[in-house]
A and B are shown apart, each in its own frame.
Chain A
Amino acid sequence: MDDYILITTSSPHIHSGESISRIMFSVAIALLLPTFAGIYFFGFRALGLVIVTSIAAILTEAIFQRLRNKPITISDGSALVTGMLLALNLPPGLPYWMAVVGAVVAISLGKQIYGGLGANPFNPALIGRVFLMITFTTPMTTWINPVDGTTRATPLALMKMEGISTDYVKLFFGNVGGSLGETSAFLIIIGGLYLIYKGYVDWCIPASYLGSVAILSAILGQDPVFHLLSGGLMLGAFFMATDMVTTPLSRLGKMIFGIGAGFFTVLIRLYGGYPEGVSFSILLMNAFTPLINRFTVPKIYGEVKSR
């Protein structure tokens, strides 16, 4: 018989073949749908922003890992997802350099500073967005359509400042002012359903998030359909509140997360200084995630009395 060495590792000896990069690239593929919507409504500047933030995110990740003497893992796709998500949350007319700053902050302060993939408590793309929001408030709230140069307010701003509602059909398909990837509820839902089908998104989170926004806004005398379809809610519910790293482990925990995010979103939209509250509410619930995990340990098999 030939020479051979028998490998001894502990069981199990087979694997499903699932990998982090497969998950991340599936998310990236799903994110292409809202990206297309952005390009369709806001022209190629939208694509430019997505490319710029993605490259900046990936480079920042590589540089940080180099500085920390860690293996460079940009091929896992997680920095790409952060870059894409950030771009989809930016106004289409934002200067490129500001978008780059956002991507650098997202990866460095949002992720690498905590130890990299899996260790960050907050959604990195949202850290980048909120940083830009606070630092460059005016460009971050100026909704220029780069295609025709017109400025138009977002449906939520119109509602908050002037009490004007927007047509449901426009809201659903995305022909409104807003961040470049958040306007088309239609394509976001398709992308989200794809991820639910693949098993990479638990339907619990979008369902509880959207459900609580609808119920709470209706209770407070608002139009729930308008609130569901406008602003960053759809993008947030399907793609950011579902970030595995920063959300709870158990089903119950995920429900609580979604309901909490919905509660804060409506609160900020109706009573806060900003017209939109999705980013803040998800970040807020990210902070609660360890606590939620602690109090939602599932009941195990065998927590019954002996006969």
Chain B
Amino acid sequence: MLKTFKGGIHPPYNKDLTNSKPIEKATLPKKVIIPMGMHIGAPSEPIVKVGDMVKKGQKIGEAKSFVSVPVHASISGKVTAVEPRPWPGGGLMMSVVIESDGKDELDYSITPPKPLSQLSPDEIKNLIREAGITGLGGAGFPTQVKLSFPPEKNVDTIIINAAECEPYITADHRLLLERPDDVVLGIEAIMKATGIKRAFIGIEDNKLDAVESIKKTIKDKEGIEVVVLATKYPQGGEKQLIKAVTGREVPSGGLPMDAGVIVNNAGTCAAIANTLKTGLPLIERITTVTGSGIKEPKNLLIRIGTPLIDIIEQCGGFKGTPGKVLMGGPMMGLAQSTLDVPAIKGTSGLLVLEKHDLHLFEPSPCIKCARCVDACPINLLPTTIAKFAQKNMWNEAELYHAMDCVECGCCSYVCPAHIPLTQHIRIAKSHIIALRRQK
């Protein structure tokens, strides 16, 4: 039997739009907008000013706290603005805008580090931090912080998340097919940095070619194994992945390390490998540009900071009238109101849904069918929490474990009454957090 978790849904995956298309290098952008807070944690502080000339790979933002990472220029050129700009996370974020000089010159500081075999664990962690590497699955947690767990946690397992359960997105799939060596080198670096002897790569069974590709690469590697998972959303959710692979559960309110596990995305491993091989920080990533509203769906290797409009134009532009432009997939992606925002480190996909493909509904009353209860991978009662949220009963919502919601969207997806359950729970969570701060 394939490994999986309880609950979840089977949405249409629509991955065949891009899963056979090789990764393509995007053209050099004329301008990049680089937000200082693409990661979870404190935003970095800009260390360049308007008028400065910068080179590719040069540090332009300094991390000032432990849970943070530095930010780097992804092209060479002139800094034309250092100011708050709209960014895909919503609202404004301090950003550095660079106009390209067209030369794409490498910064003098970029040199390949010593080979992995000669690096100490601390050196590896430091390299990862200085390269600005964050989780590339979407949330953007600083990778080095993940690798620096206290020894008493007895972390004994590394899980590499290559489930890629979001519909449409194929960035990790193509990565596993085209650069399996990089993924495995990244895993070896994480193993060495943490001293953990066991790593599992979780891949859904709708990507068996990727399973083969990785299996070939790890044939003579000690301690690395592939785990084939059932294709079910949200199989790539951190908690669901841990449950499926190890049978362990992350305690409520805890972190994966509380279950003795650290989870890293396959893309993150490749980013680590890239830094080990070239010395380059994280300045580019693979993004799947896809959807019914895109003329030529592609897997693009883009520079961080490339405005969305440039990316869409490189894929033939819009097909029909765009209804929604999503950063990420259709289940958890963030709807964008403007195309002037940049792609960031967590942009695994850019999904354009054609206007006629959107189904916007008026919610009707809950008929207590409990489909949301069956679909919830955390085993919550989404309808009950949502009802409390609609009545501003935040304490009751908390009692029914609102804070454990992972916002995967399964409940809203299945609700026959079209109630935006996930949104109600999200609102409850923000109020609960605000109330906790007051205490």
- A interface list, Cβ under 8 A from B: 1-2, 4, 6-20, 22-23, 73, 76, 78, 115-119, 199-200, 202, 244-247, 249-250, 293, 297-307
Q: How far is the CA of A306 from the CA of B415 in the complex (A)?
A: 33
Binds A, one of B99-107, B185-193, B279-287, B369-377: B369-377
- Closest chain-A Cβ to B376's Cβ sits at a distance in Å of 9
Q: Is the CB of B323 within 8 A of A7?
A: yes
- Closest chain-A Cβ to B352's Cβ sits at a distance in Å of 9
Contact of A14 among B252, B260, B331 (CB under 8 A): B331
Q: Is the CB of B365 within 8 A of A304?
A: no
| B63-99 vs A, Cβ < 8 Å mask (1 yes, 0 no) | 0000000000000000000000000000000000000
Given known contacts A4-B323, A15-B418, A307-B260, what 4 new A-B pairs fall within 8 Å (CB)?
A: A4-B355, A8-B336, A115-B365, A244-B370
Q: Is the CB of A297 within 8 A of B400?
A: yes
Interfacial residues of chain B within 235-266, with CB under 8 A of chain A in the complex = 239, 243, 248-254, 258-260
Which among B358, B364, B410 has the highest number of chain A CB atoms within 10 Å?
B364
Which among A7, A115, A202, A293 has the highest number of chain B CB atoms within 10 Å?
A7
Q: How far is the CA of A6 from the CA of B339 in the complex (A)?
A: 9
- Tell me which residues across on chain A come within 8 A of B258, comparing CB atoms: 306-307
Pull 19 A–B residue pairs with CB atoms less than 8 Å apart, ordered by A.
Answer: A4-B318, A6-B323, A10-B420, A11-B407, A11-B409, A12-B422, A13-B358, A16-B413, A18-B415, A117-B364, A202-B370, A247-B368, A298-B379, A298-B381, A301-B6, A301-B249, A301-B252, A302-B252, A307-B260
Kindly report which residue of chain B lies nearest to residue A249, judged by CB atoms: B370
Q: Is the CB of A6 within 8 A of B368?
A: no
- Closest chain-B Cβ to A54's Cβ sits at a distance in Å of 19
Given the interface pairs A23-B416, A298-B381, A301-B243, the reply to whether A118 lies near B359 with Cβ below 8 Å is: no
Q: Is the CB of A2 within 8 A of B321?
A: yes
B203 interface residue, CB < 8 Å from A? no
Q: Is the CB of A302 within 8 A of B322?
A: no
B9 interface residue, CB < 8 Å from A? yes
- Tell me which residues across on chain A come within 8 A of B337, comparing CB atoms: 6, 8
Q: Is the CB of A13 within 8 A of B353?
A: yes
Q: How far is the CA of A17 from the CA of B249 in the complex (A)?
A: 32
Contact of A12 among B153, B355, B365, B412 (CB under 8 A): B412
Given the interface pairs A13-B326, A13-B335, the reply to whether A249 lies near B381 with Cβ below 8 Å is: yes
Q: Is the CB of B367 within 8 A of A244?
A: yes
| B1-37 vs A, Cβ < 8 Å mask (1 yes, 0 no) | 0000010010110000000000000000000000000
Q: Is the CB of A6 within 8 A of B249?
A: no
| B414-435 vs A, Cβ < 8 Å mask (1 yes, 0 no) | 1111101011001000000000
Sort A-B residue pairs by CB-CB distance and give the 4 closest, nearest first. A12-B409, A118-B365, A302-B252, A8-B335
B349 interface residue, CB < 8 Å from A? no
- Tell me which residues across on chain A come within 8 A of B368, comparing CB atoms: 118, 244-247, 249
- Closest chain-B Cβ to A121's Cβ sits at a distance in Å of 11
User: In terms of DSSP, what is the predominant structure of the interface of chain A?
Assistant: loop
Kindly report which residue of chain B lies nearest to residue A116, judged by CB atoms: B365
Q: Is the CB of B251 within 8 A of A302?
A: yes
Q: How far is the CA of A299 from the CA of B252 in the complex (A)?
A: 11
B120 interface residue, CB < 8 Å from A? no
Given the interface pairs A2-B321, A11-B331, the reply to whether A300 lies near B413 with Cβ below 8 Å is: no
| B355-367 vs A, Cβ < 8 Å mask (1 yes, 0 no) | 1001111001111
Kindly report which residue of chain A lies nearest to residue B411, judged by CB atoms: A12
Q: Is the CB of A15 within 8 A of B239?
A: no
- Tell me which residues across on chain A come within 8 A of B370, comparing CB atoms: 202, 244, 249-250
Kindly report which residue of chain A lies nearest to residue B168, judged by CB atoms: A14
Q: How far is the CA of A234 from the CA of B272 in the complex (A)?
A: 63
Q: Is the CB of B384 within 8 A of A249?
A: yes
Given the interface pairs A12-B331, A18-B416, the reply to whether A6 lies near B336 with Cβ below 8 Å is: yes
- Closest chain-A Cβ to B426's Cβ sits at a distance in Å of 7
- Tell me which residues across on chain B come within 8 A of A2, comparing CB atoms: 321
Q: Is the CB of A22 within 8 A of B416?
A: yes
- Closest chain-B Cβ to A290's Cβ sits at a distance in Å of 11
Q: How far is the CA of A122 from the CA of B251 in the complex (A)?
A: 38
Q: Is the CB of B409 within 8 A of A249?
A: no
- Tell me which residues across on chain A come within 8 A of B259, comparing CB atoms: 304, 307
Q: How far is the CA of A245 from the CA of B336 in the complex (A)?
A: 37
Q: How far is the CA of A14 from the CA of B422 in the complex (A)?
A: 13
B297 interface residue, CB < 8 Å from A? no
- Tell me which residues across on chain B come within 8 A of A298, comparing CB atoms: 373, 379-381
B333 interface residue, CB < 8 Å from A? yes
Q: How far is the CA of A78 from the CA of B369 in the complex (A)?
A: 13
Q: How far is the CA of A6 from the CA of B88 in the complex (A)?
A: 14
B218 interface residue, CB < 8 Å from A? no
B225 interface residue, CB < 8 Å from A? no
- Closest chain-A Cβ to B409's Cβ sits at a distance in Å of 3
